[in-house]
Copies of this chain bind each other. A is one copy, B any other.
């Protein structure tokens, strides 16, 4: 981003943290949904899979929207970041329910929490 000819005015540190968390959370959710499929109690993990799938898609898209610095629109950035914060909160809550018996859910929950926090911090900056 330091190499961008005209970066956005948003606080760089807050923005980069949010991008990194979105990228990591997208990967973590794809991985958790996949690990759920291999669990003997897959039947009980259906809601976790569904919410991880949604969260992965939303985090991936939000990362792309936030990476772009050129000619962006604050209303679009805000809406994408809000959707991401919501998806991460809901998915984190579901993963928390399974965190004590599935290590991948514990890791995914932590990633969802960090990403939701980073989204909230960015929303405070966007205003």
Q: Which A residues fall within an 8 A CB radius of B?
A: 1-6, 19, 23, 27, 30-31, 34-35, 37-40, 42-43, 46-47, 49-51, 53-58, 60-61, 63-65, 67-73, 75-76, 78-80, 82-83, 86-87, 90, 102-104, 106-107
A61 to B50, CA, bound (A): 14
Q: Known contacts A3-B107, A4-B104: does B90 contact A34 (CB below 8 Å)? A: no
Asked whether A4 lies within 8 Å of B38 as measured between CB atoms, the reply is yes
Q: How far is the CB of A23 from chain B (nearest CB, A)?
A: 6
Decide if the interface of chain A is mainly helix, strand, loop or mixed.
helix
A38 partner, pick from B30, B53, B70, B103, beta carbons under 8 A = B70
Q: How far is the CB of A89 from chain B (nearest CB, A)?
A: 8
Asked whether B79 lies within 8 Å of A35 as measured between CB atoms, the reply is no
What are 9 A-B residue pairs whose CB atoms fall within 8 Å in the complex?
A4-B31, A4-B34, A35-B70, A37-B46, A58-B76, A73-B90, A76-B87, A76-B90, A79-B87
